[in-house]
Amino acid sequence: MSLSPVEGVALAEIESGGDGAAPKQKAVVGRSPGQLAWLRLRRDSTAVVSGSMLVFFALVALAAPLIELLYGIGPGDQFQGKLDGFGMPLGYAGGVSADHFFGLEPGLGRDIFIRMVHGLRTSLFIAFTAAVVTTTIGVALGVLAGYLGGRVDAVISWITDLALAMPFLIVALALTPTLVLRFYGEREEVSSVFGVVVLIVVFAVFGWTSTARLVRGQVITLREREFVEAARASGAGLGHMLFRQLLPNIWAPILVAFSLAVPQYVTGEAALSFLNVGLGEETPSFGKMIFRSLSYLETDPAYVFFPGITIFALVLAFNLFGDALRDALDPKSSR
């Protein structure tokens, strides 16, 4: 009779030595929760496909300077000679050719492909940085609120409720121009680095709340467990309780929250750029490209198709991978 595998438990495999020889025991090493999650991810076709797409997008973003060097065209280069008298690209599908893979922008004549490569780099950098910042803030506040309770929990919960009550889009539309005018004049060109930092700050002000609430709830369920009580009774300090006892037991939901926060910031950056908030005109962005393409939907649909399908695929891959990661980290999952 075959034995069903028990995850995370060390088993002993009995092998017969034959000819009356004593049987040999071969130890089977137990698997950690991380190894079990990795095995589930590898068996999930959705996770493999979406993860491969994310790796591809990340490599393209990281290799943007190299791609620009090999392509021979920069994001700011204009090709006015390849536009007709109305500013429309000459040729098929918006000027798609061997020299311009995705064609040219109407009016300015900039190469769409290289601007999308740099736009992907900008979008992923903002999204990942904002996700790291907001996750760090949310985890720190959530752990403190859940473990300490009392007045600390009341104050942090009140701040969380206040941040959730403020409409993100309205505050972002009001806050961003205020920060720009604080450091730049009305006619000065805003630095691309400053625009990126402003968007990350805007996301950080609002994005930590969901992670904080998630972590707070997880810590409240753990703080009365036996291992926490034992560590507290042994005289463990606050740092030991937070970083050695609580956080290692809630890393799975934190990781899932992080993976699902990144696509939210990708779409958030695109939405704010679409509204001309944050990034300057010279900074490549999917939102700005889609905004400019609205005037050419009938005459040049390829202009909106390429950035639109790319950001759709990017966000879809993140969401699918986040769902698959959540299933893989769930020990009760059937996948």
pLDDT digits (tens, 9 = 90+) for 294-322: 888 777 888 888 888 998 999 999 989 88
| Digit-coded pLDDT (tens) for 82-96 | 888 777 888 777 778
What is the DSSP secondary-structure string of 293-314?
A: HGGGTTT-HHHHHHHHHHHHHH
In a domain, 315, yes or no: yes
Is the distance from CB of 236 to CB of 109 less than 8 angstroms? no
Tokens linked to 134 = 């907001």
In a domain, 303, yes or no: yes
**What pLDDT, on a 0 to 100 scale, did the predictor assign at position 233?**
79
| Digit-coded pLDDT (tens) for 171-195 | 888 777 777 777 766 656 667 778 7
Is the distance from CB of 333 to CB of 40 less than 8 angstroms? yes
Domain that holds residue 220: 43-74+116-329
Is the distance from CB of 262 to CB of 316 less than 8 angstroms? no
In a domain, 19, yes or no: no
In a domain, 179, yes or no: yes
**What pLDDT, on a 0 to 100 scale, did the predictor assign at position 198?**
84
Residue 198, domain CATH: 1.10.3720.10
In a domain, 7, yes or no: no
Tokens linked to 7 = 């995850």
Q: Say how far apart CA 46 and CA 42 lie, in whole Å.
A: 9
Burial of 172 from C-beta contacts in 10 A (0-12 / 13-18 / 19+): buried
In a domain, 79, yes or no: no
The Cα angle at residue 72 between residues 71 and 78, in degrees rounded to 5: 110
**What pLDDT, on a 0 to 100 scale, did the predictor assign at position 237?**
75
In a domain, 81, yes or no: no
In a domain, 286, yes or no: yes
Question: 312: how many CB neighbours lie within 10 A of its CB?
Answer: 11
Report, as ranges of residue numbers, the positions in the chain whose pLDDT lies below 70: 1-34, 184-190, 331-335
Number of domains in the chain: 1
